[in-house]
Structure 1
């Protein structure tokens, strides 16, 4: 009997590769990035309020709740790729790790170092890595790619905000 046609990259073949402990580890990694960012931005509220910002800039209190949700979706997306892939997920998870490392670097650059230009370069690299991650995840597990779309939109918005703040405060 012939195999059904369709997107084989989203097929589950064999037992799941990653169980709940893997999800917990990915959540821990993502929220560790959040915690380091929180430490780097300890005075972020004061810094953010003191900056010249565009009229479309969101209030500072909004970033915490948004990032809390996004870090959860980043972890779940990675877990879905590991759980559903029948191997060959090294490139996708390497990209996932690169975007998370670039995410980690942004907050200290922007808030602790006040290096708005370097932060903008970092967030642009993050956006490129994240777009590549979404594409790689889409080939492995479509739901994982979809989970990263709000994150991608937020990073694109944050990049525009970063650029605007950099230009307004130079």
Structure 2
């Protein structure tokens, strides 16, 4: 139908992901959105309860897309959970099989490309928007370091500094 990306895709089959790969359609899994709705509507408690069937379905779809080499971006449906917890989506991607580096790319340059904004943001380069963040720890080694931003710059304005 001419779609550029598919969001959620929890019940997608391997054949569907093969078609996404063939047509260069990106996938944004929104793993944290399903986890959040399971908390709200089915009393799932993170860290206590095993993943629900819907969460398992979302993880299966994600792992299938990853295995097949589908372009995966970081789409979180932020708003179904507390603003400022956006780190949860790349952490969920790593928990389900991405490397921290892949998850960081999904949230930066891959996301910018999906939005057709790679000439404006998504990487550090002359002429692009000055959107930068630094963390207490190395998210490339331990993705949970994204929980602790110590420096944030948006459009060249500093919003948080050490």
* TM-score with structure 2 setting the length: 0.24
Structure 1 or 2, whichever has the larger Rg, is 1
* TM-score with structure 1 setting the length: 0.24
Flag the structure with more relative contact order, 1 or 2, with Cα contacts below 8 A and sequence separation at least 6.
Answer: 1
